[in-house]
C-alpha cells in the first residue's frame, strides 16, 4: 500500500526553493496563505490550479507505475488546510475561475452576493478539488487496476473534498470525540456504499487546553494508553469498518518487545478477535429500522442568526443517541445522497434540523410519507433551499401541517413542553420556533413559558398524509438530549416512536447508561455487539479513562419467522450464557460487559 498526499502542506516557509512562489495560494492582497501542521513548523499552502497540480499527478504516476502496490491511499486532496475556506487569488486560480465562470474570484469582505459565493464554492469543490481526486483515481486505474482510497474525515464539514468519495473505492474516517459519535460516522460512511476505514487512537491526543498554540498536540510518541484503545477498536469492529493503529510511531522507540507494553497487548487482542472472526463479521449486515437524514447542506450553507455551526452536530448525534438509547438501529445518510429507494427501506426517517433542503428533496420526503413511511422532523427543517436561501416558511409546510410565524427561533429560559394527552411538563429546548398549525394537523404538545405564565403555541404536531404520518417538533429536543441525556426526554421520544418501531425491532436491550448496541445478521446468524462506554470522562475530554463493567444486562433478540436458535455464544468474553427461546425471541442475561461483548446466535 502506498500513502500519497495530494497537496498536503510541505512547503516550509524557511525553504528557499524558488518554485514554491509559483505553487502557493495567495489572499486578495497577494500575501501567501500559511498553515500550521501538527505544531512542527509553518508551511505555505499549495494551489491546485498552479503547476503544482501536475507535479503531484506525476509523482503519483511514478509510484503506481514503478512499485507493485496493491492499494493506493491518498491524504487529501487539499486546497489549503488551516486557511482552506480562505479563497485563493493566485494568478492561476483567478485565470481558471475567469475561464470557467467569466468573473473574478469573489472577495470575502462582505461585498460578494450570496450567488457569487455559491458559484465560487461550487466551482472550487466540484471543478477543482473533487475533479482532481477523480482525475487521480482514473489515472491510477489506467496504470494499475488497484483500489483507490482517500481521507474523507471532513465528510461533514464545509471543506472542499467531501463529495470526492464518489470517485474512489473507499475512504478513511479518522476519529470522533466519543465512541457513540465514531459509530455514527462509520455507519454514515458506509451509507455511501463505500468501504470505510478508521484509525484506532487518533483522538487519543494530549488535552492541550493550557497550550498557547493548539496545533501543538502533545506526545506523539506516547498516545493515551489502555482501555480507550480497546473500546475504539471495538466500535470499529461493531460497525464492520476496517482499521489501523494510528500511533505506530511510538513503537519505533520502544526498547523492549512491543507486546510487553500492556496497552499494545490488549490492542492486539482486538485485532486478533477481528481476524479470527473475520469471516463471520463480514457475513452479517446491519438491519436499520430508521434512517437519519444528516444535514451536510445545512453545514455547508446555513446562515441563520441563531445558528451555532460548531454545535449543529448535536442535532444529528442527538437523533442517533436517542434511537440507540431506545434500542433501535438507525442508519445515518447524507441529505444529498437521499433517494426514494433508500427511504423505502426505513420504517422511520428522522430529519434532525435539516434547515437546507431542495424542492426535489422535499418532494422525495413527501412521497415517502404518502407511501406509508413515518417522518419525524425537527426545528428548522426545510426553511431554506439547498444553498441556504431562506424560504420564509417550511418547504414541507403542507406535509407538516405547520406554518412559520417567524423565520428565526426565540431563546427564552425555563420553557417546558406540555404533553396534551397527559398534561405532563417536561423540559423543552430553550430555543423554539413559533409556528401555527395548518390544515389537518393535530397538536400533541405545546410550549409552556413558565417564567412569563403563558403558552407559546404548538410545539409538536402530527398529521397523516396518504398511508403515512409526520411528526414535526418545532425545537431541537434531540440536541437537548445529546447535551443532557435527560430521561424524561428519552421517555417522551419512546411514546412517539415505540408505536411505529417496536413491533419490528430486531433486538431489545434494557437501558443502561453508556451501553450501546449494534445489530447485524445474515441468513443463519444474528450478531449483537454491546459497547459499554462507562468510563470516567465526564468533565473533560481527552484525559486518561478507566471503565467500569455493566453487570447483568438483559437482552432479547427477535428470531426470524419460522426459525429457532441452535446456539448462543458470547464471543468476546467466551462466557457461556444461560438462554432460552420464548415467543419467538432468544432471551438471555449477559453477566458482564466490560467495554465490549458480542452475542452470537446461530439459527436452526
Ligand atoms: Zn489557488
pLDDT given for residue 523 in this prediction: 95
Confidence of residue 72 (pLDDT cuts 50, 70, 90): very high
Residue 165 makes CB contacts below 8 A (sequence gap 6+) with 150, 152, 155, 171, 192, 194
- Identify the CA nearest to 472 among candidates 501, 445, 502: 445
For residue 104, report the distance from its CA to the centre of ligand 1, in Å: 12
Average of per-residue pLDDT across 449-478: 97
- Residue 404, SS3? strand
Average of per-residue pLDDT across 224-239: 85
Average of per-residue pLDDT across 22-32: 97
pLDDT in tens, 108-135: 999 999 999 999 999 999 999 999 999 9
pLDDT in tens, 482-519: 999 999 999 999 999 999 999 999 999 999 989 999 99
For residue 20, report the distance from its CA to the centre of ligand 1, in Å: 13
For residue 175, report the distance from its CA to the centre of ligand 1, in Å: 28
- 420: number of Cβ within 10 Å: 14
For residue 89, report the distance from its CA to the centre of ligand 1, in Å: 6
- The answer to whether 16 and 87 have CB atoms below 8 angstroms apart is no
pLDDT given for residue 216 in this prediction: 75
pLDDT in tens, 152-198: 988 999 999 999 999 999 999 988 888 999 999 999 999 999 999 99
The backbone torsions φ and ψ at residue 541, rounded to the nearest 5 degrees and listed phi first, read -75, 160
- The answer to whether 23 and 80 have CB atoms below 8 angstroms apart is no
CB half-sphere exposure, 289, CA atoms < 13 A:
20
- Residue 270, SS3? helix
For residue 45, report the distance from its CA to the centre of ligand 1, in Å: 9
Give the angle 409-410-414 at the CA atoms, nearest 5°.
135
For residue 152, report the distance from its CA to the centre of ligand 1, in Å: 21
pLDDT in tens, 202-231: 655 666 778 888 777 666 655 556 788 888
- Residue 354, SS3? coil
Average of per-residue pLDDT across 17-43: 93
For residue 102, report the distance from its CA to the centre of ligand 1, in Å: 17
For residue 123, report the distance from its CA to the centre of ligand 1, in Å: 12
- Residue 151, SS3? strand
Instruction: Specify which residues 449 forms β-bridges with.
Output: 415, 454
pLDDT at 474 over 90: yes
Distance CA 154, CA 206 (A): 21
Amino acid at each position: 500500500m502506498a500513502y500519497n498526499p495530494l497537496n498536503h502542506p510541505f512547503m516550509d516557509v524557511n525553504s528557499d526553493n524558488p518554485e514554491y512562489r509559483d505553487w502557493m495560494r495567495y489572499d486578495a492582497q497577494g500575501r501567501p496563505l500559511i498553515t500550521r501542521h501538527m505544531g512542527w513548523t509553518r508551511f505555505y499552502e499549495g494551489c491546485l490550479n498552479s503547476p503544482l497540480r501536475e507535479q503531484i499527478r506525476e509523482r503519483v504516476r511514478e509510484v503506481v507505475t514503478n512499485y507493485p502496490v496493491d492499494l493506493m491511499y491518498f491524504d487529501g486532496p487539499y486546497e489549503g488546510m488551516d486557511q482552506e475556506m480562505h479563497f485563493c487569488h493566485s494568478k492561476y486560480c483567478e485565470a481558471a475561475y475567469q475561464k470557467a465562470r467569466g468573473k473574478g474570484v469573489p472577495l470575502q469582505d462582505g461585498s460578494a452576493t450570496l450567488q457569487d459565493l455559491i458559484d465560487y464554492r461550487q466551482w472550487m469543490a466540484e471543478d477543482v478539488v473533487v475533479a482532481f481526486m477523480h482525475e487521480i483515481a482514473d489515472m491510477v486505474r489506467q496504470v494499475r487496476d488497484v483500489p483507490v482510497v482517500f481521507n474523507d474525515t471532513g465528510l461533514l464539514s464545509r471543506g472542499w473534498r467531501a463529495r470526492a468519495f464518489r470517485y474512489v473505492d473507499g475512504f478513511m474516517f479518522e476519529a470522533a470525540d466519543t465512541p457513540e459519535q465514531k459509530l455514527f460516522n462509520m455507519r454514515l460512511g458506509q451509507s455511501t456504499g463505500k468501504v470505510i476505514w478508521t484509525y484506532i487512537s487518533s483522538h487519543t491526543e494530549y488535552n492541550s487546553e493550557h497550550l498557547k498554540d493548539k496545533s501543538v498536540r502533545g506526545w506523539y510518541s506516547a498516545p493515551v494508553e489502555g482501555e480507550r484503545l480497546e473500546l475504539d477498536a471495538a466500535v470499529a469492529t461493531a460497525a464492520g469498518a476496517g482499521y489501523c493503529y494510528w500511533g505506530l510511531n511510538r513503537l519505533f522507540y520502544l526498547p523492549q518487545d512491543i507486546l510487553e507494553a500492556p496497552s499494545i497487548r490488549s490492542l492486539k487482542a482486538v485485532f486478533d478477535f477481528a481476524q479470527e472472526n473475520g469471516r463471520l463479521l463480514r457475513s452479517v449486515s446491519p438491519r436499520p429500522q430508521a434512517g437519519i437524514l444528516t444535514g451536510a447542506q445545512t453545514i455547508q450553507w446555513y446562515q441563520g442568526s441563531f445558528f451555532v455551526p460548531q454545535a449543529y452536530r448535536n442535532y444529528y448525534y442527538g437523533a442517533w443517541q436517542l434511537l440507540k438509547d431506545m434500542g433501535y438501529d438507525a442508519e445515518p445518510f447524507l441529505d444529498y445522497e437521499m433517494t426514494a429507494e433508500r427511504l423505502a427501506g426505513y420504517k422511520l426517517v428522522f430529519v434532525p434540523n435539516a434547515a437546507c433542503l431542495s424542492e426535489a428533496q422535499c418532494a422525495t420526503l413527501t412521497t415517502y410519507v404518502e407511501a406509508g413511511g413515518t417522518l419525524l422532523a425537527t426545528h428548522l427543517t426545510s426553511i431554506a433551499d439547498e444553498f441556504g436561501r431562506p424560504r420564509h416558511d417550511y418547504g414541507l409546510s403542507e406535509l407538516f401541517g405547520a406554518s412559520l410565524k417567524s423565520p428565526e427561533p426565540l431563546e427564552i429560559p425555563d420553557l417546558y413542553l406540555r404533553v396534551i394527552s397527559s398534561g405532563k411538563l417536561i423540559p423543552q429546548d430553550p430555543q423554539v420556533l413559533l409556528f401555527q398549525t395548518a390544515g389537518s394537523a393535530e397538536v400533541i404538545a405545546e410550549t409552556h413559558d413558565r417564567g412569563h405564565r403563558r403558552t407559546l403555541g404548538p410545539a409538536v404536531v402530527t398529521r397523516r398524509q396518504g398511508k403515512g404520518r409526520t411528526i414535526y417538533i418545532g425545537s431541537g429536543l434531540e440536541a437537548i438530549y445529546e447535551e443532557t441525556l435527560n430521561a424524561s426526554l428519552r421517555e417522551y421520544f419512546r411514546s412517539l416512536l415505540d408505536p411505529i418501531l417496536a413491533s419490528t425491532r430486531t433486538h431489545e436491550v434494557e437501558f443502561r447508561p453508556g451501553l450501546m448496541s449494534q445489530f447485524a445478521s445474515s441468513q443463519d446468524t444474528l450478531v449483537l455487539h454491546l459497547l459499554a462506554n462507562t468510563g470516567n470522562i465526564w468533565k473533560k475530554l481527552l484525559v486518561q479513562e478507566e471503565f467500569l463493567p455493566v453487570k447483568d444486562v438483559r437482552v432479547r433478540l427477535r428470531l426470524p419467522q419460522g426459525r429457532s436458535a441452535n446456539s448462543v455464544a458470547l464471543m468476546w468474553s467466551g462466557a457461556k450464557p444461560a438462554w432460552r427461546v420464548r415467543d419467538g425471541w432468544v432471551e438471555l442475561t449477559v453477566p458482564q460487559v466490560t467495554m465490549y461483548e458480542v452475542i452470537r446466535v446461530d439459527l436452526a
